Structure 1
């Protein structure tokens, strides 16, 4: 019996009834489980401090005691088949802690491969001291060190997972900032040199940090690298402290992974094991709890469209449909953890996760200091815009009845062009407009707070929303009918918490002002995708830096920036063989534009270019 079958076999009846057995890419539904363990970020500095002999001694009385020997076996298997220089490196790390940068990189990478993790945490903390010592002593020059990092980047790229392969540099909470900055600067330079879509380099920054990190980051972004992604510690540390319920010192160890979720570097687990489509939840609400795609009754006792006398009643029904699904996804998350704890100790992950060694328990079996969960949310912006349209056209202006709007949506607006035009004319999130942005906050706060309530109920340290995208907005859009924001059936939904394509009409300042209205202390990560033309990074660069710094000063938590022109993307669609170098951000990950399926290309092309 597979692990998935074991999880589903433990479903209480109420859980089995609410979760489809089909994959989320195939079924038309509101909520879907994801069967995986993801997002572990390990204590690599501890590994490099101890070396394999030290690690073996530390693990002697734990279920993970075989880890060091297993790594030695791997090292031994390479000797005789690699270069003389590589043999020296492998022999140097077979027992003792690494002494040099080259040795530290090698031990880190061997361990990462064995652990199965695709996310590497604060790598400047792990490797910075080795790099600085070698540079200071003349063991390496900067060009040699850069080539080593470029080689590591190529290895990460070959370990192909475009949704992960995250590593973090910069930020508060690094013991030796000067040494860490040496690696961080080299990491940015390597990203500029190799031009790959992996690893996903992320720069944390704060007031007073080495300004050269920021300058080199903007250089790289302006050249079209899409990396590093920018994370604002001044906002994120207090937000993480509140959301996770931890001290400021622990919050300083927040680490983005995957498509943009946060964990506490080697202190917490927070696998994203559920998906909810908020626009589909509204669709179900407007059809008396029934899925119009397949006729299945999803939620009982939901009023018909004709029964709502005011917007508050409609809002309460929408909330009930969302809550119905959030509760089941939280329960599903804990069941997955329980099965994983029984199935496997995940020894390589647990050995470098606090406090598994002290507890002598696996990361998902009571060993990790904090065991949380994540809920991926999609369709959030479209749900908010649609609710705002319904509030305005039906309940405030009384221009149409709710059944009339539902009829128009069910017809995919065919024969209802006047209604669709009216829906599109209502103000939307992303324009710094009070009512639309207020509805976005209302939808955001509801799903975040409802998810957070589930942690105590199911026995997790936290259960937090993540507002990300891995082009799921496009895939889930295929199964979502026409919506009140004017979107037609099957079209992509908005990316993460960004405005819907074409709906932000008041310019980049208004767009950024809307983004900062959503409280970052309620979730475990949100994607802020931004697309700028190349001109912003030439003579207009001072204006760009003033704009983005003001955004961060006013509460912006994060930015994932693509620098590209519409002409370039259209040319790449016509002649893909000539545009293999063109990189774009899809959501929480980057990809060569020509490698995107055509629906994904069209969705990226439709986003506003500032």
Structure 2
């Protein structure tokens, strides 16, 4: 922050902290990420170690002090906002590992010390991420797995093989910037120091759009006309007719969303310019433009599509049971949805159990998800944000899958009205992924990675016993290498027993330090709303790979 660069490792860490504090006093604070901190701090660390003025233990203590300071920052949110960002995630992220400009795997002593700090403290901040690639070292992966096994929900893992090339090809990011990508907030991808990504520009509820398409544009919950009346499930003669109507409904609401987006961005330009942030984002000073007016080198806006898993399961059920096999009539299914399955319990059981579900490596089902994710992504390419930059898409929910579910009526996948949608963004609906974790990876790998350039999120839950042996940890490393080879962009893990979560809900005073991975962030389990706690408890738990 001064005219001279830091002279020591300790000064460099202090500079990062002061920069973080000042930026979080500005409205666009979440745009700041310490990024690849192990790469930035390593020259100072190495020089101090060689001069004998710093030991590894002293460096670890400094990092752990920084970790403690991160946990002193808490956002103030109103009640409605807190539903969508439960647990009050702070929105900054530290990444370690990755590749250099020549695609070589890069990690160092500081990478391991960052993991050690998380191992020792187990706190929810900072949001620690590890970048993996095809050449990631056994040492780094095993150190990360050890921390995962302790149950703090960290680190999460990002896949260079799935992220760098689509950044270059789909968003026009320069190769050197793409290779140096970092993470903002939960799982939102960003270039380093030259980007205003506006990661959470909007969330789009695909399942509500399907509900309106099936019911003359009327909400099943309020009976109000809020969408286009394109017909109903009873009037669509073929599955293709339904798809055509669904496309039009999506297009209609995208237009409304984009109009609102421009108003929001203009308001930031007019009333919330961020001068200090503009001084630390490349090209703003050269252009003489505030970062909210397009001063950054890259001016992206990210839209989340929510929730593909429920959408896929619903469309698969309609396609197979209504149109292909004709086991359920169009009239009866529409009535069942309107009545929230009251009196239609046998039909609900058929919808839940007679049709294969996303997350089980069933090609035709998984390809439905890719079809609609790609359609949504392509529509975003038709728009430019108010700063003159492109829109891109993400597949993550924070905790919005719970309140968004409260705004969706009964759905053709057998889900009752008001119930949560699937967690994560790329994750299957809990309890429906029956073929094991590798099948989940294979299903998710069928999603085009251009759809998750604003971030994608895959949640998984394992029992702690899996990590008790060396064999278990080696199996888990092989699982992560399969994650890399399949080019899935992101994965993260809860390691916890269902019994402990149930006890924490009944006796929160005994579990004050229990942390859980909600979406792309970790929070204290006892601070979460009851509905979100229930959803986390019901997520599929794996005993083996």
C-alpha distance in 2 between matches for 1:52 and 1:293:
57
Give me the whole-angstrom Cα distance separating, in 2, the residues matched to 1:405 and 1:163. Answer: 43
What CA deviation, in whole Å up to 9, does each residue of 1:263-285 have, x standing for no partner?
Answer: 21122212122121111111111
* Residues 253 and 145 of structure 1, relative CA distance in 2, 3 Å threshold: same
Q: Is the 8 A contact 1:469 1:586 kept in 2?
A: no
Structure-to-structure mapping, 1:533-552, within 5 angstroms:
533-539=463-469, 540-552=472-484
Partner of 2:189: 262
- Corresponding position of 2:311: 383
In 2: Cα distance, 1:270 partner to 1:478 partner = 29
Structure 2 CA distance for aligned equivalents of residues 136 and 177 of structure 1: 24
2:517 corresponds to 1:585: yes
* Matches for 1:364-513 after TM superposition, within 5 Å: 364-425=292-353, 426-455=355-384, 460-495=388-423, 496-513=425-442
Q: In the alignment, does 2:252 pair up with 1:324?
A: yes
- The counterpart of 2:151, out of the listed 224, 242, 262, is 224
Is the alpha carbon distance of 1:395 and 1:460 closer, same or farther for their aligned partners in structure 2, counting shifts above 3 Å? farther
Query: Following the alignment from structure 2 to structure 1, what is the Cα–Cα distance between the partners of residues 510 and 535?
Result: 21
- Deviation of 1:459 after TM superposition, in Å, equals 6.3
Instruction: Provide structure 1 residue ranges, at least 5 long, that are not aligned to the other structure.
Output: 1-50, 54-95
SS at match of 2:493: strand
The residue aligned with 2:219 is 291
1:238, 1:521 within 8 Å by CA — same for their partners in 2? no
Counterpart in 1 of 2:57? 143
Which residue of 1 is the match for residue 503 of structure 2?
571
**Structure 2 gap ranges (5+):** 75-87
- The CA distance in 2 between the partners of 1:443 and 1:98, in whole Å, is 49
Q: SS in structure 2 opposite 1:531?
A: strand
More helix by percentage: 1
Equivalent residues of 2:398, 2:520 under 8 A apart: yes
Specify whether residues 404 and 216 from structure 1 end up closer, same or farther in structure 2 by C-alpha distance, changes over 3 A only: same
CA distance in 1, matches of 2:436, 2:103: 41
Note if contact 2:73-2:90 (Cα within 8 Å) is conserved in structure 1. Answer: no
CA distance in structure 1 between the partners assigned to 2:103 and 2:117 by the alignment:
21
Determine if contact 1:333/1:373 at 8 Å carries over to the other structure.
no
Contact 1:169 1:204 in 2 (8 A): yes
Kindly report which structure 2 residues correspond to 1:193-204, keeping only aligned pairs within 5 A, or say none.
193-204=120-131
Q: Out of 530, 535, 542, which is 1:603 matched to? A: 535
Equivalent in the alignment of 1:214: 141
Shift of 1:111: 1.9
Whole-Å separation in 1 of the counterparts to 2:478 and 2:46: 33
Note if 1:123 corresponds to 2:37. yes
Distance change (3 Å), C-alpha of 1:179 and 1:260:
closer
Tell me what 2:458 maps to. 528
Q: Which stretch of the first structure deviates more once superposed, 138-147 or 331-340?
A: 331-340
Q: SS at the partner of 1:465?
A: strand
Q: Which residue does the alignment assign to 1:279?
A: 207
Aligned residues: 517
* SS in structure 2 at match of 1:455: coil
Change (3 A) 1:527 1:473: same
Range with greater deviation from structure 2 (423-432 or 208-217): 208-217
- The match for 1:97 is 5
Match of 2:236 in 1: 308
Distance 1:131 1:162 in 2: 29
Deviations 1:246-267 (A, max 9, x none): 2322211322212211121122
Q: 2:2 aligns with which of 41, 44, 52?
A: 52
Give the drift of 1:599: 0.9
Indicate conservation of the 8 Å contact 1:528/1:559, yes or no: yes
**Over aligned residues, Cα RMSD in angstroms?**
2.1
Asked whether 1:236 is paired with 2:166, we answer no
Counterpart Cα distance in 2 of 1:452 and 1:592: 38
CA drift of 1:454 comes to 1.9
CA shift for structure 1 position 243? 2.7
> Whole-Å Cα distance in 2 between the matches of residues 179 and 109 of structure 1?
24
Query: Aligned partners of 1:581, 1:239: CA distance in 2, in Å?
Result: 39
Partner deviation per Cα, 1:491-545 (whole Å, 9 max, x = no partner): 1100112111111111222122111111112332100111111132122222222
1:248 counterpart = 2:175: yes
Structure number with greater Rg is 1
Structure 2 residue matching 1:104: 3-state secondary structure: helix
